[in-house]
Amino acid sequence: MKTKIFCDIADFKTIRFFNKKSLVDGFTTNPSLMRLAGAKNYKDYSLKILKVCKKKPISFEVFADNSIEMLKQAYKINSWGKNVYVKIPVVNSKGIFMGSVIKELSDKGIKLNITAVYTFEQVKKIYKKLNKKTKSIISIFAGRMADKGKDPLPIFKKSISLTKKNKKIEILWASTREAYNYIQAVQLNCQIITMPPKIISQISLFGKSSNKLTLDTVKGFLSDSKKSKFKI
């Protein structure tokens, strides 16, 4: 099984660039990335992205904080394109599980990406609410867990084992911190990993020999010392 690579970005030019690359299988966005990209109108900016990303899956997230408004936003986002996944946070800002939202949308055949997941207990609750005939993604935030000293691998192993019999439901490695995370995701048989453009560029260099890496590193040191005109 191939671990699909998604690009975690909302910048229009970057999406247009990576949409042409066979290495990248899809995209993930979130309200923070949209803000960073300079989006002023959420819908207009998303539709602009969809003009260049017409086939590869892309996730756009709701930003409402209650179930009624989340559902309204989700239906609108779903209407933007057949390749769109609607991103739903596992809980709202008050810590309330969005199970009713997940169930209603999934039962209606709307592709979902459930985000901000940190525990296997959350994965189990999400899995129960998902319609097993509807395509869905569960995004587990590996990097943010590791940042806090928690090993994310056991959660991934349990989650992949739980969902492996259902081809419609995929586990996604989110908040990627380094290129080696891709190797970890592959070893786990994780279906998707999403990562920033810089790490995708690093992965494209996989396969370089150790001698070549040494040579490139030394050349970099030499170049910087010449540019700085260092003397001893």
What residue spans define the domains of the chain?
4-206
Nearest-angstrom CA–CA distance, 16 and 230: 41
pLDDT band at 27 (very low <50, low <70, confident <90, very high): very high
pLDDT digits (tens, 9 = 90+) for 51-106: 999 999 999 999 999 999 999 999 999 999 999 999 999 999 999 999 999 999 99
- Is residue 207 scored above 80 in pLDDT? no
Nearest-angstrom CA–CA distance, 48 and 34: 12
Task: State the pLDDT at residue 210.
Answer: 81
Q: Decide if 30 contacts 61 (C-beta within 8 A).
A: yes
- Is residue 3 scored above 80 in pLDDT? yes
Among 151, 187, 185, smallest CA distance to 171 is for 185
- Is residue 208 scored above 80 in pLDDT? no
Task: State the pLDDT at residue 59.
Answer: 98
Query: Which DSSP symbol is given to 54?
Result: S
Mean pLDDT throughout 18-27? 97
Task: State the pLDDT at residue 216.
Answer: 87
Mean pLDDT throughout 107-120? 98
CA distances from 133 to 6, 21, 113 (A): 23, 30, 15
Task: State the pLDDT at residue 209.
Answer: 79
Task: Provide the β-strand partners of residue 6.
Answer: 26, 194
Among 203, 127, 134, smallest CA distance to 171 is for 127
CA distances from 161 to 43, 106, 122, 127, 140 (A): 37, 21, 15, 12, 14
Task: State the pLDDT at residue 205.
Answer: 80
Give the DSSP H/E element, type plus range, for residue 77: helix 67-78
* 4-206 fold: TIM Barrel (3.20.20)
Task: State the pLDDT at residue 2.
Answer: 93
Q: Would you tell me the crossing angle of helices 120-129 and 99-107 to the nearest 10 degrees?
A: 40
Task: State the pLDDT at residue 213.
Answer: 79
Contacts of 128 (CB under 8 A, 6+ apart): 99
Assign 3-state DSSP to the chain and report helix, strand, coil percentages, each to 5: 45, 20, 35
pLDDT band at 1 (very low <50, low <70, confident <90, very high): confident
* Mean pLDDT rounded to a whole number for the chain: 96
Task: State the pLDDT at residue 112.
Answer: 98
Contacts of 212 (CB under 8 A, 6+ apart): none
Strands 84-89 and 112-117, by their bridges, are parallel
For residue 67, the tally of other CB atoms under 10 A from its CB is 17
Task: State the pLDDT at residue 55.
Answer: 98
